[in-house]
Amino acid sequence: MSQDPQATEEYSKTAASPYKWEMVVDLDRCSGCEACVVACHAENNIRISGEEEAAEGRAINWIRIERYWEGDYPNVKAKFLPVMCQHCDDAPCEPVCPVYASYHTPEGLNAQVYNRCIGVRYCGNNCPYVARQFNWFDPHWDEPLAEQLNPDVSVRSGGVMEKCTFCVQRIRSGKEAAHKEGRRVRDGEITPACVQSCPTSALIFGDRNDPDSRVSHLKKSRRGFHLMESLGTHPAVTYLRRLSE
């Protein structure tokens, strides 16, 4: 295959600095519509649970909207907090895995290798954000839903822990496209399913190592904070406080 030598050189210069993926959640924009939850289910082949399983805490969601009521009737306000895997730099779930199924990628993602997982659930117990979900049952999709499974994402069987990947399949294809053109991934080129589907653009995704990316600017905001910051997990998800508290 012929490669443009200039482009290759350009790439090798920039490739020395790896990507660090970061998400920013602007709580002032979140309307709690759960479009992100639906998009995540569709994109990542997340198994469908019924009401009963959900009541027993067996339902799986890689992203959830936590709802808080504030104030007394009639001045009640609903406030929403989207929570997904925080992709912690110092992740409590990683050192406890006996088979290295849970590990940190060089790009700052907290990864789960499904075919390695033996289902001891230590990682899930150690996650302060309850972001990791265990498959208590084999997945099942009624026809014709099985036809819409995403071929770029493994279908996880029973006995395997799973979690948000920041849509690593989209990151991978974005990186491949950039690599073929001999450049770095452009800001906004890669959008995880939740980010893409958010009607109010409350979710922003990008490269923390790119000083001009939207996430780099937003995470410096005075409104920025991390969930359970005192634990020292150093999450890769930054939340922006509401403007009207």
Partner 1 sequence: MALLAGSMAMGVGALYSIGSADLPVQDQQPVRFSHRQHAGTLNIHCQFCHRYATQSPVAGVPSMALCQTCHESLSETTPDMKMLRIYWKEKRPIPWVRLQRLPDHVYFTHEMHLFAGLSCTSCHGNVSGMSSTPRAPTYEMGWCLTCHEQRGASHDCWTCHK
Residue 230 DSSP code: G
Q: Which residues bind partner 1 (CB under 8 A)?
A: 1, 3, 103, 105-107, 109, 111, 113-116, 152-155, 165, 168-169, 172, 176, 179-180
Residue-wise burial string across 38-69, b where 16 or more C-beta atoms lie within 10 A, e elsewhere: ebbbebbbbbebeeeeeeeebbbbbbbbeeee
Question: Is the Cβ of residue 115 or residue 230 nearer to partner 1 in the bound state?
Answer: 115
> Least distance (Å) from partner 1 to the CB of residue 169?
6
* Minimum distance, C-beta of residue 207 to partner 1, in the bound complex (Å): 16
Around 231, how many Cα atoms within 13 Å sit in the side-chain half-sphere?
A: 17
Minimum Å distance from CB 19 to partner 1? 12
Q: Which is nearer to partner 1, 180 or 217 (CB)?
A: 180
Least Å distance, CB 173 to partner 1, is 9
| 162 contacts: CB under 8 Å, gap ≥ 6 | 46, 60, 62, 112, 114, 132, 133, 134, 135, 156
CB closer to partner 1, 165 vs 191: 165
CB of 29: closest distance to partner 1 in angstroms? 30
Three-state SS for 213? coil
Q: State which residue, 82 or 112, has the beta carbon closest to partner 1.
A: 112
Contact 164, 10 (CB under 8 A): no
Looking at the Cβ atoms of 191 and 198, the one nearer to partner 1 is: 191
Contact present, 213 and 186 (Cβ < 8 Å): no
